[in-house]
């Protein structure tokens, strides 16, 4: 959904201006909510926009970004949902009520952070399915859950994602170690690919050396159709043609897809887009 100068409030994502700090070191699955209380999720933001990445680029969608992640990518472009999780607990009724306010939007994108961390994700997906909503889940592919999903969008983290030893956000080096040990889980990736037949693998790349790493990973997984493998240039600005020429060549040679970031082209590196 494009920003409107006549109605800027219509584009403003929920969750900005009232966020509270959430626990930073999420090291395990959160406990399920008490049976007597409504199911909730820690939400960083929700908003209506256009899907900016992958097979459904350009499709009007409702985004639900959970706050909390079991990884710490050095180049993470949503640090408010990972490195320093911020947000509020919201009930599933609140989330679904907001979606119902825009009946023309029939796609939901559940993203993060890492949405698969949270048990309440499953009932949210089933309620979205009951509403006839197409569901995309964006995950790093380190956790498996049984849930309703129409497009499993998996972004396995390559070695370029691991924080450097001198990263100022990780003085102790704890997250460097955790991230490196968790970023690839072959068993989980394989089960996600088998259980969710409509899927895509998105890889963030910054130089040609990453191609061999991707090809080696694909060899360890169940067969993935070439057009379900997407290469996305690292960065939070629109890359110049000379910076992506090698990615274009790699895609042409292998039958893979180039993955743009439409929201960066339209809005820049702006939260809630």
Q: List per-residue pLDDT tens for the chain, 273 residues long.
A: 333 333 333 344 666 545 666 654 454 445 445 556 899 999 999 999 999 999 999 999 999 999 999 999 999 999 999 999 999 999 999 999 999 999 999 999 999 999 999 999 999 999 999 999 999 999 999 999 999 999 999 999 999 999 999 999 999 999 999 999 999 999 999 999 999 999 999 999 999 999 999 999 999 999 999 999 999 999 888 888 888 999 999 999 999 999 999 999 899 888 988
The per-residue pLDDT for 7 is 39
Phi-psi label, residue 104: left if phi above 0, alpha if psi -120 to 50, beta otherwise: alpha
Looking from the CA of 6 toward its CB, the CA atoms found within 13 Å total: 0
Looking from the CA of 221 toward its CB, the CA atoms found within 13 Å total: 25
The per-residue pLDDT for 265 is 87
| SS3 state of residue 43 | strand
- Report CA 190 to chain centroid distance, whole Å: 18
The per-residue pLDDT for 10 is 39
CB 144 within 8 A of CB 177: no
Residues 6 or more apart from 125 whose CB is under 8 A from it? 110, 135, 137, 147, 148, 149
pTM above 0.85, yes or no: yes
The per-residue pLDDT for 8 is 33
The per-residue pLDDT for 19 is 60
């Amino acid at each position: 959904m494009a920003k409107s100068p006549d109605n800027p409030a219509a584009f403003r994502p929920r969750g900005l201006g009232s966020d509270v700090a959430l626990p930073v070191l999420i090291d395990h699955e959160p406990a399920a909510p008490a049976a007597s209380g409504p199911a909730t999720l820690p939400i960083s933001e929700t908003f209506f926009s256009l899907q900016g990445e992958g097979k459904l680029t350009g499709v009007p969608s409702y985004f639900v970004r959970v706050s909390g992640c079991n990884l710490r990518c050095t180049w993470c472009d949503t640090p408010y949902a990972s490195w320093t999780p911020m947000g509020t607990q919201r009930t599933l009724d609140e989330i679904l009520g907001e979606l119902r306010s825009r009946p023309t939007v029939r796609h939901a994108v559940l993203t993060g952070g890492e949405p698969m961390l949270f048990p309440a994700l499953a009932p949210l997906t089933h309620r979205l399915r009951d509403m006839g909503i197409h569901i995309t889940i964006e995950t790093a592919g380190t956790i498996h859950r049984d849930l309703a999903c129409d497009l499993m969008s998996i972004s396995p983290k390559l070695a370029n994602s691991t924080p450097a030893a001198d990263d100022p956000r990780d003085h102790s080096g704890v997250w460097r170690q955790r991230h490196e040990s968790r970023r690839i889980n072959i068993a989980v990736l394989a089960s996600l690919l088998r259980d969710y037949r409509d899927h895509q693998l998105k890889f963030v790349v910054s130089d040609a050396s990453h191609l061999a790493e991707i090809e080696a990973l694909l060899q360890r997984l169940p067969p993935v159709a070439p057009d379900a493998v997407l290469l996305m240039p690292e960065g939070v600005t629109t890359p110049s043609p000379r910076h992506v020429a090698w990615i274009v060549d790699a895609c042409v040679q292998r039958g893979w897809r180039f993955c743009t970031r439409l929201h960066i082209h339209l809005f820049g590196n702006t939260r809630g887009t």
